[in-house]
Amino acid sequence: MGGFAYLASSTGTSVAPALLEVLARMEFRGKDTSGVAWVEEGELKVVKDSVPVGELYAKYGLKDLRVPRMLGHTRYSTHGKADPRNAHPHVDCRRRLAVVGDGALRNYEELLMEVLRRGHRVESKSDFEVVAHLIEELLERYESPVRSFLEAIARLRGFISLVALFADGTAAAYTSHQPIYVGLGESLVAVVPVLTSLYGLAGSYYEVLGGEVAVVTSDGRVLFVDLDGRTVIKSPQPLRVNGDLVPKGGFPHHMLREIYEVPYSILRTASAVQLKYLEMASRMIVQSKRTIVIANGTSLHAGMVFSYYLAELAGVTPLVVSSSEFPLYYVDNVGVGDVVVAISQSGETSEVLKSVYEARLRGATVIGLTNNINSRLTRFSNIYIPIAAGPELAVPATKTFTSTLVVLYVLAKHVGAAVSRVERAELGGLWRELEELSRMVLSSLDYVSSQAREAAEYIGSCTSGYVVSRGITYPLALEGALKIKESSYLHAEGVEGGELRHGPISILDRNVFTIFIEPLESSAAADMLNLVAESASYGSPVVLLSHSLERVNLPVKVVKVPKTSRHLMPIALAIPLQLLAYWLAVLRGVDVDRPRRLAKVVTGTVS
C-alpha cells in the first residue's frame, strides 16, 4: 500500500514543495520508503530511499528543485521489504519512464518470468517494477506513451492504481477498482489516490473510476479514456474538504477510515498473496502430523475461524491456542512433523515470537502470517504469507482482521484442493468471489454504519453486555466483545449460544445488553431466536445482527447484514461489529484510535 502523486504546473513553477505537502498528507498509507522522479532537459531523474518523504527531501536537497512536473510515492511494504531498491518510482532499462503504484499484481510472477526471459534487468522485489518493463517494450514498438501504457495495463491483473511519467513529459494514470482523482488548481494539475490530499491546492477535481485512464499531456491538457482508448467525457466537481479531517484522509478517526478501507483491503490482500507460497504452505499442512494455530487477541479469533475453514474445506482439524498459553504446556508435545501457523498483524507480538522460537527449537515447521513483512515473525518463520492490508494506525484492529480472514480462507481452499476436497476450478474462481464480496461490502457500508450507530445509541446506557453466536460465527462473538471493550471501555463478553443459559443469563436486566449474531447453521438459528426472545423478556436491550430477517416481532434492534457465502460471512459480519464498537466509543467520548493502556504492538523479551 502507499500514497502517490503526480503534479504538473502549467506556468513552469516548481512543484517540489507542493509534492512534499501532498505526499506527507498520505503517510497514513505508509512511509517505509519514499521516492520522487522528474524530467530534466529530457532526462529522467529518480531519487528514492528507505526513509519518510520529509527525510528524503532533507537528505537529497529536493526542496531546492526547480521543476514543473514531478512524480512521487510513499510506501508501506507488501511486495519487497523496506529497502531503497524496492522503493517507488521504478524505471525501465532505458530510463524512458518511471512508474509508481498502489495495490498488488495477481499475475506478478508470470509477468516477472516474461520480462526476465526477454533480458530486462529487474532490480527490486516490487511487483510494480515489471510494469515499467512491459511499457518499455511497447514504447519501443509504438513510440506512443499512451498506446504503450494502455496495452501494458491490459496485461495486468489484480487490485492496482498506478501512474507512469514519460521522459517526453506525458503522464498516464490507471486504476482497476478504487477511484483516483485528478485535481485542478489555478495553474496546477495533480493526480492522487486520496482526495483530501488536494486541500488548498485544487479548487475542483475529476474522479477516475475503475477501468479508466487519465492522461496529462506534456502541455498540461487532461484527457480521459477507457481501456480501448475511447474518450470518456467527465465534468469537474468542486472540491470541498474539511481541513480538520485532512490528517486522517477525510475521516474523524483512523478507525472509521480503516473500516471504510475494508472493501479495498480485501482485494489488496487477495492480489498480494502469491500462489507459490500458498502451495508451499498447503503442502506443509497436508504433510504434517498435526497443525497448531497460535495467536493473541484479534488474530486468535481469526485463527478460530480458520479452524472451521480447514475442517470443512480440507478435513483438517487444527489445534487453536493462545500463544500466551502455548509455551506453558503445549510446546513440550511439539516436534518434527508438526506445523505451527503463527498469526500476528504486527509480526512483533512477544508471546507469538516466544512460541515460534520454542516450536522451531523442537523441530516444528512455522508458517507466519503478518501485516508487517519487515518484522521478526517473517525472519523466524520457515515461510510467511503477507496479510497486506496496509498500515493500520488505530489500535483496535479492523481491516487487518478481515484481511487475515481472507488469507486464511484462501489458504484453506488451497489445502482443500491439495487433498482433493476442493475442485481446482474453484481456486480459479476465488478472485471473482472476493471481488463480489468487496462490491457487496462497499455498497452496504453507509447503510450498515447508520444501523450500527442506532444500535449503539440503543445499548449505550448499559454497563455490561454479551455478544452471542454459534458455529462458524462464534469467534465473531468473541471478536465483537473484544472490539467493544477496547474501543469503548464498555464491558462485554463473547458467549457461545448454548452456554448462555449455563450462567450468563442470570445477570440479564435493562443494564446488560445482548448482541446476537444470527448463526449460519439452520438448527442453531432456530434456537437463537428463542434466546433472543428470552433475553428481551428479562429487560435486556437486544441487538440482532441478521442476514435473513428485516424485522422480528420482538422489542429488539435489528441490524441487517448483507448475505454472502457461508465461509465469507465471518468477513461480512466483522464490519457491523466493528462499526457498532466504533459508534459506542464515539458516544461515550473515548479516544477511539488510542484506547488507554493498549498498544498496537505488544512486545517483550524474546529469549
Q: Please identify every residue annotated as catalytic.
A: 600
290 three-class SS: strand
The per-residue b/e assignment along 448-477, b for 16 or more CB within 10 angstroms, e otherwise, is bbebbbebbeebbebeebbbbbbbbbbbbb
The per-residue b/e assignment along 337-346, b for 16 or more CB within 10 angstroms, e otherwise, is ebbbbbbbbb
Residues 6+ apart with CB under 8 A from 606: 350, 353, 354, 357, 376
Residues 475 and 458: beta-carbon distance below 8 Å: no
Element (H, E) at 161: strand 158-166
Residues 6+ apart with CB under 8 A from 36: 19, 46, 47, 48, 56, 62, 70, 71, 72, 73, 89
Cα separation, 400 vs 329, in Å, equals 29
Residues 299 and 404: beta-carbon distance below 8 Å: yes
Radius of gyration of the chain (CA): 25
Strands 180-184 and 204-208, by their bridges, are: antiparallel
Q: For 595, how many CA atoms within 13 A lie in the half-sphere containing its CB?
A: 23
Q: Which of 16, 10, 71, 7 is nearest to 38 (CA)?
A: 71
Integer CA distances (angstroms), 164 to 21, 33, 75, 307, 324, in order: 20, 18, 16, 43, 47
Integer CA distances (angstroms), 81 to 3, 50, 127, 352, 534, in order: 17, 10, 12, 21, 54
Cell numbers placing 187: 495553474
DSSP letter at 251 equals S
Residues 68 and 15: beta-carbon distance below 8 Å: yes
DSSP-assigned letters across all residues of 24-71: HHTGGG--SEEEEEEEETTEEEEEEESS-HHHHHHHHTGGG---SEEE
599 three-class SS: coil
Residues 6+ apart with CB under 8 A from 128: 79, 88, 90, 99, 100, 101, 105, 162
Cell numbers placing 541: 436491550
Cα separation, 173 vs 453, in Å, equals 37
Cα separation, 496 vs 280, in Å, equals 35
Strands 290-295 and 212-216, by their bridges, are: unpaired
Cα separation, 352 vs 407, in Å, equals 18
Cα separation, 456 vs 513, in Å, equals 10
Cell numbers placing 454: 442506532
